[in-house]
Structure 1
Amino acid sequence: MSRPLTFTPPPGTHSAPLRTSRGTFASLVAPAAGPAAAGPRPTALLLPGFTGSKEDFTAMLQPLAAAGYRVVAVDGRGQYETPGLDDQEAYAQGELARDVLAQAAAVGTPVHLVGHSLGGQIARAAVLLDPSPFASLTLISSGPAEVTTAQQRKIKLLTTALTKLGMEQVWEAMRAMGPLQDADAGDEPALRRRWLMHNPAQLIATGRQLATEPDRVDELAALPLARHVVSGERDDTWPVPLLDEMAVRLGAVRSVIAGAEHSPNTDRPRRTAEALTAFWDAQED
């Protein structure tokens, strides 16, 4: 489970509904606050991972804004504060990708698109549908195809539980398995609330996607788009050597965040923000 550092937007940022042609999405917005660039810079659009939310990027918002970029982090449909239907077909990858295209249009193109884990695979699908709105694509801890066998087993257990139990019961079962690693005791009420607000149909459908995603790296590599692969030093969802290989296949810039694991955006948010802004700044040269 993704564990944000805080659910409180930092100073200079705010919560706002992002109204699009495909519905309204909950978002956190940080206006550009750094020195003015030579011209308007693309907006950064940040997509969270499985069981996550826009709050997974909270600690990155100020550093990215201070570097001169407007930042919008969103909850996808059925995630946390964005409602979704109880129909798993509503969360087909193509539907989620079209949501991203609508979000990009709403924030104003061009867009630096960033996706963490599941969000990276949805971001990839959006770019493959239509690359024209995007100035670049960054995949954070998001691999070339399906997750590891061990993670597939965990997803299968979760899916089985979600089909038989309510969200509250599943939460209690997860808590009974042990404390939330790296989470402060004070985080638990907010994490519980976020979990309960996820739509179980979204979790089942996107979990299936993570367990069965095909390799589409060659398709992505063929697009005329700047690409960036970011990860921590360790990753139990996609092994780091696999991410290294994917970056080579993509011809992508590669950033490894020291001291981070599967969620460098929460493990080492400032270092991750620095890697993003260095990549984006390089696109202006």
Structure 2
Amino acid sequence: MSRPPTFAPPPCASPRLLSTSRGDFAVLDARPSTQDKDIKATALLLPGYTGSKEDFIALLEPLAAAGYRAVAVDGRGQYETDGPDDQSAYAQTELARDVLAQAEAVGGPVHLLGHSLGGQIARAAVIVEPTLFRSLTLMASGPARISTAQQQKVKMLSDALAVLEMDQVWEAMKALDPPEDADTDPGNGEDLRRRWLRHSPVQLIATGRQLTVEPDRIDELAAVQPLPKHVLSGERDDTWPVPLLDDMAQRLSAHRTVIAGAEHSPNTDRPLETAAAVIGFWDRH
């Protein structure tokens, strides 16, 4: 689970609902302190499994300061965006269509960035309709299913979600946390708990399964031209090994960035370095 340093958005970002042809989505909408006509471009930021728009809070201020409007989204069934109690509603094709609607609603084409599960949803959207996007950044998001160890963790979580209430699952997860992962900020710990309780368990079960069976679609994505592509990760990742991400970048002829000192969530581990890498890539395109 990504652990944002705070759930309070910076002054440049406004929490609001983004109305689209596929419903309303809770977003954090960060804008430069300039007139809209001076905005370089708009970016759409998609969180990962168990995550939310708050995972990008530490990126929003530097992105806005660099001249970009950045819209971080809760997907359907994530945190502050409602979702139905029907697993078919969370099929990857449905989630990809949501992204297309979001891009249209913010005034695409947009720079698209997806973290982990969000990256796999992002690439599905790009494959369907690439004209809505200026570029694609895959952040800690691999070519196919997650590692065997992570598959086992997701299966354990899905099994628990099928029989327990969300608060019971939360307490079980906290009990299993290693001491070094214990949250020392009681306020932020309560924010994390509140976020967890507002996730749809149906969404978590459906998207968790996607992560364990996702096929390799890199050849399909590589064929989407001339869309610029960026593969960004930390220097360690237990969800998709870094050499696998290196190979994926080569197959995509993508720009490659490795953030020193970061693991699976460079957006929260090393946000300033991550923002600088993303801005540099966007500025070139």
- 1:34–1:69 contact (8 Å) kept in structure 2: no
The 2-side partners of 1:21 and 1:93 are apart by 18
Map of 2:279 onto structure 1? 277
Shift of 1:33: 3.4
2:266 aligned with 1:267, yes or no?
A: no
Give the secondary structure class of the aligned counterpart of 2:130: coil
Shift of 1:255: 0.5
Structure 1 residues 101 and 157, CA gap change in structure 2 (3 angstroms): same
Question: How many pairs align?
Answer: 282
For structure 1, which segment, 39-48 or 134-143, has the greater mean C-alpha deviation from structure 2 after superposition? 39-48
In structure 2, what residue type is equivalent to 1:262?
H
Deviations 1:23-68 (A, max 9, x none): 000000111237999x753201000000000000000000000101
The 2-side partners of 1:79 and 1:96 are apart by 12
- 2:39–2:68 contact (8 Å) kept in structure 1: no
- 2:137–2:230 contact (8 Å) kept in structure 1: yes
Shift of 1:188: 1.1
Give the secondary structure class of the aligned counterpart of 2:102: helix
Give the secondary structure class of the aligned counterpart of 1:122: helix
In structure 1, what residue type is equivalent to 2:208?
G
In structure 2, what residue type is equivalent to 1:48?
P
The 2-side partners of 1:158 and 1:180 are apart by 21
Deviations 1:87-123 (A, max 9, x none): 1111000000000000000000110000000000000
For structure 1, which segment, 21-30 or 176-185, has the greater mean C-alpha deviation from structure 2 after superposition? 176-185
Map of 1:25 onto structure 2? 25
Give the secondary structure class of the aligned counterpart of 1:231: strand
The 1-side partners of 2:217 and 2:223 are apart by 10
- 1:234–1:261 contact (8 Å) kept in structure 2: yes
- 1:48–1:116 contact (8 Å) kept in structure 2: yes
Map of 2:245 onto structure 1? 243
Matches of residues 1-285 of structure 1 in structure 2 within 5 Å? Answer: 1-33=1-33, 41-178=40-177, 179=179, 181=181, 183-186=183-186, 187-224=188-225, 225-283=227-285
The 2-side partners of 1:213 and 1:267 are apart by 26
Give the secondary structure class of the aligned counterpart of 1:132: helix
Shift of 1:182: 6.3
The 2-side partners of 1:153 and 1:34 are apart by 48
- 2:12–2:64 contact (8 Å) kept in structure 1: no
Report the TM-score, using the length of structure 2 for normalisation. 0.96
Identity across aligned pairs (percent)?
A: 67
Unaligned runs of 5+ in 1: none
In structure 1, what residue type is equivalent to 2:184?
D
Shift of 1:176: 1.4
Structure 1 residues 244 and 35, CA gap change in structure 2 (3 angstroms): farther
Report the TM-score, using the length of structure 1 for normalisation. 0.96
Give the secondary structure class of the aligned counterpart of 2:272: helix
The 1-side partners of 2:215 and 2:91 are apart by 14
- 1:35–1:67 contact (8 Å) kept in structure 2: no
The 1-side partners of 2:89 and 2:120 are apart by 17
- 2:27–2:53 contact (8 Å) kept in structure 1: yes
Structure 1 residues 223 and 209, CA gap change in structure 2 (3 angstroms): same
Shift of 1:184: 2.9
In structure 2, what residue type is equivalent to 1:207?
G
- 2:42–2:110 contact (8 Å) kept in structure 1: yes
The 1-side partners of 2:183 and 2:112 are apart by 28
- 1:33–1:69 contact (8 Å) kept in structure 2: no
